[in-house]
Structure 1
Amino acid sequence: MWRRFFIIILIVAGGLLITSPFLKVGLISILSSYFDAEQMSADQLNKNNQRDASFDFSNIQHPTFYETVKAGMNANSKAVIGQIRVDSVGIDLPILKGTTRANLLVGATTMRPDQKMGEGNYPLAGHHMRRQSLLFGPLLQIKNGALVVMTDLKNDYVYKVTSHRTISDEESKVKVIHETREKKMTLITCDRTTQTDRWLVVQGKLIRVTPHNG
């Protein structure tokens, strides 16, 4: 009897190992679609933005299957504070306050507690997954001049991409998220889908702010 049970365990474990990459991608796809800021109100997003949050940049690294499942269970709609759209590369994701494992599996995350949409430097981090169309993976295809639209459902903040580069040293990583007088945005993701110490950094300037038409 125990041999049959042991064989069943081995089969199940083997199946999970084989299918885990596909299950992980599927779970992330569901999460990013479920937490859609456009389904909330501007007042709710503003209330969410008043909450405290955690900022741990080490979470930007590629997540394991176990981390994906665990973080997915902790995903909270109260972290959603906006939406980001980059039509030229197919990005349409919620913006969440705090660089946590759970938030990074849902969409783009803020990287400083004091950042304000449309003011100074507005940095966002996102995962680069095996499926290139997920989360911030499409940023690897972005071109200078592309338009990035962020919204808090009160206003739409339109940025124009001016640069994209890869950085690796810690000093540069710290500098790109610093506050600035210039109104700009900074989008950050890993340069590859495996463990890496390099970031792709996409930056752009604010070109206009318009009332949101939901």
Structure 2
Amino acid sequence: MRPKQLVEIIKKASKKTKNRVSTIVLIVASLMMVLAIWCLIPDTKVEKPKTSHSQVAIDRQLLSEYSKEANDSKEQTIPMQESMLDFDESLNFIGQVIIDKVGLDLPIVKGRGKEDGTGFDKAIYACTNKTTQKLGVNNYVLSAHSTYLSATDYFSPLLVNEDGSFDMKQPIVLEKLKLKIGDEIKVNQASEQTQYRFKITKLFIDDGQGNFNATYQAMADKVGQAQLTLYTCTDIDGENRLVIQADFLDKGSLSP
């Protein structure tokens, strides 16, 4: 290799080295500048507010009071028990149940009597069901037979459809019944010569799959609430029941 060529190679290598050094210096300077700027940025972390012990105590007290109000607002129910059933065999007429809309007007007797077939079948009348029931005080429960032979006897009027048809050989459809939520039921009490008015709030069919447990539960008392409950069979075999529940409206004298 000639001396001149060697000199040229050395110059080029020296130039590349200078360029690399300049690049490294520039990168280092940039990093230092970024670091300096980052250090100048204030800490923006937000501290969580501290909760004092007194505030925690207040919150717990409010939660406790809210829970108490929620529990108090729930309906308190006195469950139905077999010991409450009234099997009085006497034929004492104590009143009348009337539903003008369907032409029902049936005497009320105390107790359901014997249900083993050995006594008089009181269910041709409206029978009280519980020894504890008081008209206008708690849940006043009445039951009676229905018959496929007549739309006017016993509790059969409850099963009349809106179009006037009546057929206990066909399944009852609640939406087709003449009786509706909001309709009025009147109960006359003979001993006080007082009439009690109720408004229907619920109608349902108990299919008997739970041994008529739904009917049984409907007979329970709601604390502080006066109600009326009526029920009757909806088919010839007595495998389904119509249950009607109504809330107390008011009462008035029957005296002229």
Same structural fold, with TM-score higher than 0.5 when normalized by the shorter chain: yes
CA distance in 1, matches of 2:123, 2:137: 23
1:111 corresponds to which of 112, 123, 129: 129
CA distance in 1, matches of 2:253, 2:204: 31
Runs of 4+ in 1 over 6 A off after TM superposition: none
**Residue aligning to 2:158:** 139
Deviation at 1:80, TM superposition (A): 1.0
Q: What amino acid sits opposite 1:96 in the alignment?
A: V
**Residue aligning to 1:11:** none
**Residue aligning to 2:202:** 163
2:111 corresponds to which of 93, 98, 105: 98
CA distance in 1, matches of 2:180, 2:215: 21
Structure 1 residue ranges without an equivalent (≥5) = 1-52, 56-74
**Residue aligning to 1:185:** 228
Q: CA RMSD in A?
A: 2.0
- Deviations 1:81-140 (CA, angstroms, capped at 9, x unpaired): 1111110000111100111353212x1001111111111111100111121111111112
Conservation of the 8 A alpha-carbon contact between 2:215 and 2:243: no
3-state SS of 1:156 partner: strand
- Deviations 1:19-39 (CA, angstroms, capped at 9, x unpaired): xxxxxxxxxxxxxxxxxxxxx
Does the alignment pair 1:208 with 2:250?
Answer: yes
TM-score (norm 1): 0.61
Name which one, 1 or 2, has greater alpha-carbon Rg. Answer: 2
CA distance in 2, matches of 1:148, 1:208: 11
Of structures 1 and 2, the one scoring higher in RCO (CA 8 A, sep 6+) is 1
**Residue aligning to 2:87:** 54
State the percentage of identical aligned residues. 26
CA distance in 2, matches of 1:86, 1:146: 9
**What is the total number of aligned residue pairs between the two structures?**
141
